């Protein structure tokens, strides 16, 4: 997943669940920090992973922020894969035809 592709804020917020080793309080604090800096993590706003990494760099430093965002990126990919697998077979056929037209 490229770090430059915009991702809906609510998907990014959900992907923070992948950082379970940090504990819920720290994850919530990270999300609040990002939102206090003017980034709305909702379905109406989209951000690149690079933008999120920049925000987290202020707290964790460059290397740790990069590792955290890589984990969030993998979680986003897993969420997308799960969503596609949840589409009934007929829906996948229609989706594939729409994408190839």
The answer to which of 41-55, 58-72, 86-100 has the lowest mean pLDDT is 86-100
80: Cβ–Cβ under 8 A, 6 or more apart, which residues?
A: none
pLDDT tier at 82, thresholds 50, 70, 90: low
Would you state the pLDDT for residue 21? 87
Would you state the pLDDT for residue 4? 80
Would you state the pLDDT for residue 5? 86
Residue 2, in any domain of the structure: no
How buried is residue 69: exposed, middle or buried, by Cβ count under 10 Å (0-12/13-18/19+)? buried
Number of structural domains found in the chain = 1
The sign of the CA dihedral 54, 58, 62, 67 is: negative
Global pTM reads: 0.74
Element (H, E) at 62: helix 62-85
Reply yes or no on whether the pLDDT at 98 is more than 70: no
Q: Which domain holds residue 79?
A: 7-100
Would you state the pLDDT for residue 101? 45
End-to-end CA distance of the chain: 24
> Stretch 32-58: mean pLDDT, rounded?
95
């Amino acid at each position: 997943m490229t770090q430059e592709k915009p991702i809906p804020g609510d998907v990014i917020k959900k992907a923070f669940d992948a950082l379970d080793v940090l504990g819920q309080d720290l994850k919530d604090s990270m999300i609040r920090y990002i939102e206090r800096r003017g980034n709305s993590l909702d379905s109406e706003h989209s951000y690149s992973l690079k933008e999120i990494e920049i925000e987290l760099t202020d707290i964790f430093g460059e290397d740790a922020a990069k590792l955290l965002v890589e984990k969030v990126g993998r979680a986003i990919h897993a969420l997308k894969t799960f969503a596609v697998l949840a589409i009934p077979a007929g829906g996948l056929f229609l989706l594939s035809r729409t994408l190839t037209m």
